[in-house]
Amino acid sequence: MALLTSSDLQAIGLTLQVAAFTTAILLLLGTPLAWWLARTRSWLKKPMGALVAMPIVLPPSVLGFYLLVFMGPNGTVGQWTQSLGLGLLPFTFAGLVVASSFYSLPFMVQPIQNAFANMGTRPLEVAASLRASPLDVFFSVVVPLCKPGFVTGAIMCFAHTVGEFGVVLMVGGNIPGVTRVVSVQIYDHVEAMEYSDAHRLAAVMLGFSFVVLLALHVYNGAQRKGAGA
Amino acid sequence: MKLRIKNLTPGAVALAFSAVTLADQAQVAVAANFAEPIKAVAAVLEKTTGHTLKVTLGSTGKLYAQIKNGAPFDVLLAANTATPAALESDGLSTPGSRFSYATGKLVLWSADANKVDAKGDVLKSGNFRKVAYANPKTAPYGAAAVQVMDRLGLTSTLTPKLVQGESIGQAFNFVHTGNAELGFVAMSQVLEGGKLKGGSMWLIPQALYSPIQQDAVLLQHGANNPAAQALMKLLQSPNIKDLIRSYGYDI
């Protein structure tokens, strides 16, 4: 007997894809945002910081509900995506990625922002005095110095997206192969009282999250040791 | 204003006293299709007896799983007959308390007033992006929608367009927000005072799906709860039956 059903495997594959896309998008969008938050003296810093952190405290049902309203045909985002010829986002893979990007934003931005802040301005000043271009400074100085922040942000973002449930339940529409991610598949098994199916898939998730967090701790430990040596 | 106790008759004092001491509260698990009617029923119950209801909405299958795992509900208003029967054989309900409080009707509904025609031909036209229904594994209205699609021979053409809500409540939300142009929902969700609240609908002929007979059952947890007992009695009274009919149910 197979350990997991083919629909379970499909859900796992889909979940990994959503998490990978979300992580890539948030690396691109979250890095400049984190840079701005770490460097700015604008009065907007605190309101923006609060906005970025909101998905940590907001119930996913709030996020899911508003996404359905705003991405729907009567919502501002929905009218915009339709006018661009993209159609509507709810019930699509792209819609899940957009929803996940909101949901996982703080998990990417905050570690990177902390790394930027801890680095201070000194390395930037030194590099500038050696006439390095801003782009060169970023890739030759900032990225290597802040690598632990990027790694932590990416891993937390990926893992958090994999573990997402409420938002995808509300905007996904539970379509196999398109929006039925692992958490929804497990919920479905439990609701239908298919407990042994639920157990097997839930155990996979349990193992996955332990391994990810363990790897993160080991990595961070090694970084600290390296920095101390 | 001073309260003049002298002017109160002994009867009025007794009534006020009894209303305070005898008003109980029942926890009721209600299938999502009955969300609107249960509000009206609760209002009548409170007005006539002082008893109040705390309502938990969900799909029948989900509520069943919760009750089996010890959820402290006093009454279940299911969207089928099988679940209350199963609870009886599980020994989780009061024997002989089961009765039918409504027979539900399935409709095809759109928030757009011009989308759904009187014969439901829009389903065959394919002139829509998504059609919503409730999870057929846990929601009887979802299972009925599957029967309708089967009997119309549309299952394979509609499958790529299906989106699934966890209960009929979520399916309704998908259509209400316009994200799905069409949806198989309960008639009770789209009627108010016996009239269509908005959008357009097709009342699906009963020949296309098995009757959605909905049974109520008094659970063991509520066996001695006066509010739960009063609700069971009220649901069988002629006035309440008329009220339930006004939401598009048969009784």
Query: Residues near A205 by Cβ (< 8 Å), separated by ≥ 6?
Result: A162, A163, A182, A183, A186
Task: Please give the biggest Cα pair distance in chain A.
Answer: 66
pLDDT per residue over A164-203, tens digit each?
Answer: 999 999 999 889 889 999 999 999 888 777 889 999 999 9
Residue from the list A90, A170, A191 with its beta carbon closest to the beta carbon of B62: A191
Q: Are residues A137 and A87 in contact, defined by beta-carbon separation less than 8 angstroms?
A: no
Tell me if A191 and B132 make a contact (CB, 8 A cut-off).
no
Which residues of B make CB contacts under 8 Å with A?
59, 61-62, 65, 129-130, 132, 135, 137-138, 162-166, 170, 173-174, 177-180
User: In CATH terms, are B10-103+212-245 and B106-203 the same topology?
Assistant: yes
Which residue reads 């299952």 in tokens?
B155
Which residues in chain B are contacts of A174 at CB distance < 8 A? 135, 163-166
ipTM > 0.85 for the complex: no
- Long-range contacts of range B206-209, CB-CB < 8 Å, 24 or more positions apart? B206/B105, B208/B147, B208/B148, B208/B151, B208/B152, B209/B106, B209/B144, B209/B145, B209/B147, B209/B148, B209/B151
Nearest-neighbour CA in chain A from B62: distance (Å): 5
What average pLDDT does this structure show over A98-103?
95
Q: What is the mean pLDDT of chain A?
A: 92
Q: What is the mean pLDDT of chain B?
A: 91
Query: Residues near A147 by Cβ (< 8 Å), separated by ≥ 6?
Result: none
> Which element (helix H / strand E) includes B203?
strand B200-203
Which residues in chain A are contacts of B174 at CB distance < 8 A? 68, 90, 173
| pLDDT exceeds 50 at position A1 | no
Residue from the list B61, B137, B179 with its beta carbon closest to the beta carbon of A72: B179
Q: Within 13 Å, how many C-alpha atoms sit on residue A115's CB side?
A: 24
Nearest-neighbour CA in chain A from B127: distance (Å): 15
CA distance linking residue B159 with residue A108, whole number of Å: 37
Strands B200-203 and B106-110, by their bridges, are antiparallel
Strand-pairing partners, residue B217, are B76
CA distance linking residue B106 with residue B188, whole number of Å: 9
In the CATH hierarchy, which fold is given to the domain comprising B106-203?
A: D-Maltodextrin-Binding Protein; domain 2 (3.40.190)
Tell me if B179 and A90 make a contact (CB, 8 A cut-off).
yes
**Domain ranges in chain B?**
10-103+212-245, 106-203
Q: What is the pTM of this model?
A: 0.84
Cα dihedral B37, B40, B45, B51 in deg (nearest 10): 90
Structure confidence at residue A190 (pLDDT):
83
pLDDT per residue over B88-141, tens digit each?
Answer: 999 999 999 999 999 999 999 999 999 999 999 999 998 999 999 999 998 999
Q: In the A/B pair of chains, how many CB contacts fall below 8 A? A: 57
Residue from the list A78, A90, A191 with its beta carbon closest to the beta carbon of B138: A191
**Closest to A174 measured CA to CA, from B60, B154, B124, B170:** B170
Residue from the list B61, B170, B179 with its beta carbon closest to the beta carbon of A91: B179
pLDDT per residue over B25-43, tens digit each?
Answer: 999 999 999 999 999 999 9
Tell me if B179 and A68 make a contact (CB, 8 A cut-off).
yes
CATH class for the domain made up of B10-103+212-245: alpha beta
